[in-house]
Amino acid sequence: MSTRPTLGKIRKQNGIAGQVAYSVHVTYPGEPTRLVTFIGSDYGGPVVMVQPDGRQTGVSDPGRHGSFGPAWVRSFFADRG
């Protein structure tokens, strides 16, 4: 049985000065779907994960997932399975 989550459509929201947010509905097997948002920059640097309850967590070594974008989000969750 796979422990990898199912991802919904990844949505982009542009901020100011290159800031970008990517949101995705994530469903792990046997768990309810939740909306997770990642906030980072088009120019690289830190990425913060925001969970539905408002908790914010810095992503360790975000560069290991490549350039920040939809493929980055998919890589982040593929690394969790």
Residue 1 lies in a domain: no
Yes or no: say if 50 and 37 are a contact pair by the CB < 8 Å rule: yes
Query: Which pTM does this prediction carry?
Result: 0.91
In a domain? residue 73: yes
- Summarised one tens digit per residue, pLDDT across range 4-59 is 899 999 999 999 999 999 999 999 999 999 999 999 998 889 999 999 999 999 99
Q: Give the count of domains, the chain.
A: 1
Mean pLDDT calculated for residue range 58-81:
90
- Residue 28 resides in a domain: yes
Burial 42-66 (b: 16+ CB within 10 A, else e): eeeeebebbeeeeeeeebeebeebe
* Structural domain boundaries enclosing 30: 6-78
CA atoms of 47 and 56, how far apart (whole Å)? 10
CB neighbours of 80 closer than 8 A, spacing ≥ 6? 3, 4, 5
Q: Tokens 């070594």 — which residue?
A: 61
Give domain status of residue 43, yes or no: yes
Residue with tokens 């994530």, as numbered in its chain: 26
